[in-house]
Amino acid sequence: FGDRSLSQGLSVLVGLGLCATMLGLGCAVELGQLGQQLRRPVGLLLALLGQFVAMPLVAFLLALIFALDEVAAVAVLLCGCCPGGNLSNLMSVLVDGDMNLSIIMTASSTLLALFLMPLCLWIYSRHWINTAVVQLLPLGAVSLTLGSTLLPIGLGVLIRYRHPRAADLLVKISLWSLLVTLVVLFILTGTMLGPDLLAQIPASVYAIAVLMPLAGYALGYGLATVFKMPPHCRRTVSLETGCQNVQLCTAILKLTFSPEIIGSMYMFPLLYALFQSAEAGLFVLAYKMYGRDSYKQDTLGEEEDTDISYKKLKEEEVADTSYGTVTTEEHNSIQMEPTQTAL
């Protein structure tokens, strides 16, 4: 990171990637859905519990268990306190989840992060309060970076309201920009800075990068189970809880800490992104192989129930119109025989 031009280039790339991601997030939000969630704020509550109670606590406990130094602990805490990322929206589609719930949780956690992320950082960094990196923790700069994301989110909501087709296109572009940004960052940091940077990262940090997303997925599923949500919503909440906004974490580390302070820990959100994507991919693969059939059976069962109810309704309508039958007797006489009407 001593190369000034490289450092500035990474800062620009990270900033542009973050803006594109937040713009796509805003384009995915519909005002009607937002109003419904405010009237029944289950998604808002789940985002609050998952992103700002469960994940910061997981990050804090892992940092203590693996006895991380103050720099590594701050990087892990920062990632754990971040809101949900756009990757969860894509993964929710692949596991037949509730897309509306996914988008609302991502948007809600991003807005809540403006206030709760600095608060969580301040609370959980007390254990390392006597270290220089924590005493210099720029909570004001973190809040400023979070506040700067509100403009592209608001612009995205406006585009969705006025130009829905353009919003759909921008959502797709933002997802691709997420992938491209992460790949470019890996190439730049891995190639230009050399393998020595990865070698400087302790094995315990790699272990946390593996365990932390898994814990988030498990806690999210358990949280949705406690709320007695249907299976497709449980899968959605699970992915929302484990998938963090690594672009935001990378931007905060790059824009608010000097390279001399953060050092190789700049790579932690990129490692987290790698493992959260791989584990989410395994989640999707397992669902496609074993869970898809049960989802189809549930859907088919609902359709059959609807069809049976329709048939019963038609039978009742036919029965209601049957007031009697006409019979003929001898001597060419005609007699009406009443029949019992089904009610």
pLDDT, mean of residues 52-65: 95
pLDDT for the residue 321:
46
**In 10 A of CB 172, how many CB atoms?**
11
Helix H or strand E segment including 96: none
Range of weakest confidence among 61-65, 137-141, 263-267: 137-141
Confidence of residue 195 (pLDDT cuts 50, 70, 90): low
Q: Is 103 part of a structural domain of the chain?
A: yes
Q: Is 167 part of a structural domain of the chain?
A: no
| Structural contact between residues 27 and 167, judged by C-beta atoms closer than 8 angstroms | yes
Average pLDDT of the chain, as a whole number: 76
> Is pLDDT at 236 greater than 80 in this prediction?
yes
- The CATH number that applies at residue 212 is 1.20.1530.20
Residue 289 CA to residue 182 CA, distance in Å, equals: 28
> Is pLDDT at 303 greater than 60 in this prediction?
no
pLDDT for the residue 294:
58
Q: What angle do CA 74, 256, 198 make, to 5 degrees?
A: 55
Structure tokens at 54: 């469960």
Q: Is 160 part of a structural domain of the chain?
A: no
> Is pLDDT at 15 greater than 90 in this prediction?
no
> Is pLDDT at 180 greater than 50 in this prediction?
yes
Q: Is 184 part of a structural domain of the chain?
A: no
Q: What angle do CA 101, 223, 288 make, to 5 degrees?
A: 65
Whether the model pTM is above 0.75: no
pLDDT for the residue 307:
44
pLDDT, mean of residues 42-60: 90
Number of domains in the chain: 1
Q: What percent of the chain has pLDDT over 90?
A: 18
pLDDT, mean of residues 91-95: 83
pLDDT for the residue 209:
93
pLDDT for the residue 84:
86
Q: Is 175 part of a structural domain of the chain?
A: no
| Structural contact between residues 248 and 87, judged by C-beta atoms closer than 8 angstroms | no
Q: Is 83 part of a structural domain of the chain?
A: yes
> Is pLDDT at 184 greater than 50 in this prediction?
yes
Q: Is 246 part of a structural domain of the chain?
A: yes
**Own/partner pairs for 88-92, CB < 8 Å, 24+ apart?**
88/236, 88/239, 88/240, 88/242, 88/243, 88/280, 89/28, 89/175, 90/175, 91/239, 91/243, 91/280, 91/283, 91/284, 92/235, 92/236, 92/239, 92/240
Q: Is 325 part of a structural domain of the chain?
A: no
pLDDT for the residue 63:
94
pLDDT for the residue 181:
73
Residue 43 CA to residue 220 CA, distance in Å, equals: 12
Q: The domain containing residue 134 runs over which residues?
A: 39-138+189-293
pLDDT for the residue 308:
44
> Is pLDDT at 298 greater than 70 in this prediction?
no
> Is pLDDT at 214 greater than 90 in this prediction?
yes
